[in-house]
C-alpha cells in the first residue's frame, strides 16, 4: 500500500485553501443578497398593509412614531398596520441580526413620520407632491443591515409610489 507524501498532502491542502479563498466571498455576497431580497419582500407585505389601512382610513397616512422607542407618545406603525398583516414577523428584517432592533422594539423598519396625517389618492400611495413619489420613502431599514453604512445598498426602502428598493434607487 502506497501512502501520500508530505508534499502531496501540502499540495492538496493548498488547493483546498485556494478554493475556499475563492468561494467564501462569493457565498458571503450571495447570503447578503438573499437577506436583502427577503427584507424587500417584507417591505412589500407592509406596503399591502398600508394600502388596506388607507382604504379604511380615507387615504390618510397614520400619525405614528419613527420607531416605538421607550417614552414615545404616539403609537407605533405596527399598532396601525398589525390587523392588516397576516404575520407580525414582516416587521423583522433578516439582516437585523447584530443590532436586534426587532427583538428590542418589535420592528426593524423606521416610519417616515413626515407623512403622518397627509392624504394620498387611491393608487398605491401614488403621488403625494408634485415631485416624483419615487423619491419619497414611507419606511426603511432602521440600520445599515445589508452593507456597511455609507455603501450603496446598505438600506432597503418602501417608496411612496409603492416600489421597494435600496438606496441605489434614490436620486
Q: Averaged over 156-169, what is the pLDDT?
A: 80
DSSP character string of the chain: -PPPPHHHHHHHHHHHHHHHHHHHHHHHHHHHHHHHHHHHHHHHHHHHHHHHHHHHTTTBPP---SS--TT-SSPPHHHHHGGG-S-GGGG--TTTTSS-HHHHHS-SEEE-GGGTT-B--SSSS--SSSS-GGG-EEEEESS--SS-TTSTTS-EEEETTS-EEEGGG--
Q: Report how far residue 135's alpha carbon sits from residue 170's, in angstroms, rounded to the nearest whole number.
A: 6
Pick the more confident residue, 171 or 169: 169
- Do 143 and 100 contact (CB within 8 A), yes or no? no
Q: Return the domain boundaries, the chain.
A: 6-169
Task: Tell me which residue has cell 407618545.
Answer: 73
Model confidence pLDDT, tens digit, residues 133-146: 557 889 999 999 98
pLDDT of residue 169: 46
Q: Averaged over 98-116, what is the pLDDT?
A: 90
pLDDT of residue 117: 86
Model confidence pLDDT, tens digit, residues 57-73: 988 889 999 888 767 77
Q: Which among 169, 167, 171, 170 has a CA at the least distance from the CA of 150?
A: 167
Residue 44, Cβ density class (10 Å: 0-12 exposed, 13-18 middle, ≥19 buried): middle
Lowest mean pLDDT among 87-91, 110-114, 126-130, 155-159: 126-130
Q: The dihedral of CA 68, 170, 90, 142: what is its sign?
A: negative
Q: Averaged over 14-25, what is the pLDDT?
A: 90
Amino acid at each position: 500500500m502506497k501512502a501520500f507524501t508530505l508534499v502531496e498532502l501540502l499540495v492538496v491542502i493548498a488547493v483546498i485553501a485556494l478554493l475556499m479563498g475563492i468561494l467564501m466571498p462569493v457565498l458571503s455576497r450571495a447570503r447578503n443578497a438573499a437577506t436583502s431580497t427577503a427584507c424587500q419582500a417584507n417591505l412589500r407585505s407592509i406596503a399591502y398593509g398600508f394600502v388596506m389601512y388607507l382604504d379604511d382610513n380615507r387615504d390618510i397616512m397614520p400619525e405614528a412614531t419613527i420607531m416605538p422607542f421607550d417614552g414615545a407618545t404616539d403609537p407605533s406603525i405596527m399598532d396601525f398596520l398589525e390587523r392588516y398583516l397576516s404575520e407580525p414577523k414582516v416587521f423583522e428584517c433578516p439582516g437585523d441580526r447584530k443590532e436586534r432592533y426587532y427583538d428590542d422594539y418589535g420592528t426593524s423598519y423606521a416610519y417616515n413620520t413626515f407623512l403622518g396625517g397627509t392624504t394620498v389618492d387611491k393608487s398605491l400611495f401614488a403621488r403625494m407632491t408634485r415631485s416624483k413619489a419615487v423619491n419619497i420613502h414611507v419606511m426603511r431599514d432602521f440600520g445599515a443591515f445589508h452593507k456597511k453604512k455609507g455603501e450603496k445598498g446598505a438600506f432597503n426602502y418602501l417608496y411612496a409610489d409603492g416600489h421597494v428598493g435600496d438606496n441605489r434607487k434614490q436620486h
